[in-house]
C-alpha cells in the first residue's frame, strides 16, 4: 500500500498503482474507497481486465448486481476464455432473474473448461431453476463425476430425482449427502420423507396386485358360472325337444 502511494506521487497516471491500492483496500473491507481506486485504474487503462473483474466482484459483494454485471461483461469481452469471469457473469444473470442468459454463459464455460467443477454445478443449478429437470440431472451427475464429494451436488441431484418421482435414486443421493456431512439436517429429513414415500408405494403396489388377483379370480368365477348356465340351458333345450317328440308320437 505504501509503495503504491509512493508510485502514485511519482506518476499519478500509473494505472497499476491505483489497482494495487484498490486491492489492498478491498482486503481491508474498505469497499467505497477501493471502488474509487479501481475506477481510476480503469479510467487510465480501459482494457485493464483484472480491474474490471475485481471491481465487479466488489460490486457483487456490495449488492450492486447491475453494476457488477457491466464489469463482468466488459471483462469477458477482454478475456473470452477466462472461466472465473464467465462463472461470475452467469451468477449475476441469475441474481437478476435472467436464468436463460446464465445458462448460455455457464454452457460456454463448460465447453471452454470441461473439467471445471463449478461451471458444471452452476449450469445444473440454472437448469434446475428453469425447471429443466433432465438437464439438471445430467450436469449434477457430471459435477459429481468431476468431484464425487461435492455435497451440494449430491443433495440437489436428489431433489431433481425426486421431482422425476425416481425415489430410490433420490434416497441414495440424500443418504450420500448425510454420509458426507452428518450436520446436513435437510438431507437427513429428506431421506426420512423419501423412505416413507417408498414404503407407502410398496404397500400400495401390494394392494393393487391383490386387487388385480381378485379381479382375475372374479373373471374366472364369472366364466365358470357362465359355462354352467350355458350347459344347463343346452340340457333344457335337449329335454324340451325330446318331450315334444314324445308328444307327437302319442298322437298316432
- The helix/strand/coil state of 12 is coil
Over 80: is that where the pLDDT of 112 sits? yes
Over 90: is that where the pLDDT of 68 sits? yes
Task: Collect all residues with Cβ–Cβ distance below 8 Å to 105 and sequence separation of at least 6.
Answer: 86, 89, 90, 93
Task: List, for residues 151-161, the tens digit of each pLDDT value.
Answer: 999 999 999 99
Q: State the total domains in the chain.
A: 1
- Percent residues over pLDDT 70 in the chain: 77
Structural domain contains residue 13 = yes
| Average pLDDT, integer, range 118-131 | 98
Q: What is the pLDDT of residue 244?
A: 43
Task: List, for residues 152-191, the tens digit of each pLDDT value.
Answer: 999 999 999 999 999 999 999 999 999 999 999 999 999 9
Structural domain contains residue 251 = no
- The helix/strand/coil state of 17 is helix
Task: Show the domain range for 27.
Answer: 1-79
- Kindly report the pTM of this predicted structure: 0.76
> Rounded to an integer, what distance in angstroms lies between the CA atom of residue 227 and that of residue 239?
18
Structural domain contains residue 114 = no
Structural domain contains residue 58 = yes
Share the mean pLDDT of the chain: 85
Amino acid at each position: 500500500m505504501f509503495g503504491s502511494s509512493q508510485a502514485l506521487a511519482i506518476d499519478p497516471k500509473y494505472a497499476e498503482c491505483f489497482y494495487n491500492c484498490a486491492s489492498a483496500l478491498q482486503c481491508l473491507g474498505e469497499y467505497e474507497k477501493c471502488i474509487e481506486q479501481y475506477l481510476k485504474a480503469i479510467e487510465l487503462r480501459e482494457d485493464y481486465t483484472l480491474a474490471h473483474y475485481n471491481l465487479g466482484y466488489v460490486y457483487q459483494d456490495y449488492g450492486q448486481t447491475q453494476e457488477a454485471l457491466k464489469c463482468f461483461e466488459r471483462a469477458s469481452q477482454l478475456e473470452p476464455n477466462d472461466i472465473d469471469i464467465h462463472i461470475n457473469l452467469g451468477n449475476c444473470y441469475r441474481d437478476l432473474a435472467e436464468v436463460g442468459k446464465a445458462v448460455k454463459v455457464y454452457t460456454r464455460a463448460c465447453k471452454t473448461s470441461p473439467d471445471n467443477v463449478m461451471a458444471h454445478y452452476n449450469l445444473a443449478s440454472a437448469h434446475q431453476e428453469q425447471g429443466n429437470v433432465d438437464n439438471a440431472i445430467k450436469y449434477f451427475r457430471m459435477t459429481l463425476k468431476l468431484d464425487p464429494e461435492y455435497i451440494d451436488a449430491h443433495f440437489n441431484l436428489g431433489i431433481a430425482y425426486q421431482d422425476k418421482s425416481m425415489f430410490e435414486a433420490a434416497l441414495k443421493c440424500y443418504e450420500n449427502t448425510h454420509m458426507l456431512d452428518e450436520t446436513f439436517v435437510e438431507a437427513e429429513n429428506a431421506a426420512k420423507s423419501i423412505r416413507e414415500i417408498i414404503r407407502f408405494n410398496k404397500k400400495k403396489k401390494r394392494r393393487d396386485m391383490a386387487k388385480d388377483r381378485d379381479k382375475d379370480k372374479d373373471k374366472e368365477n364369472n366364466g365358470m358360472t357362465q359355462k354352467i348356465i350355458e350347459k344347463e340351458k343346452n340340457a333344457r333345450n335337449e329335454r324340451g325337444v325330446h318331450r315334444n317328440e314324445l308328444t307327437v308320437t302319442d298322437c298316432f
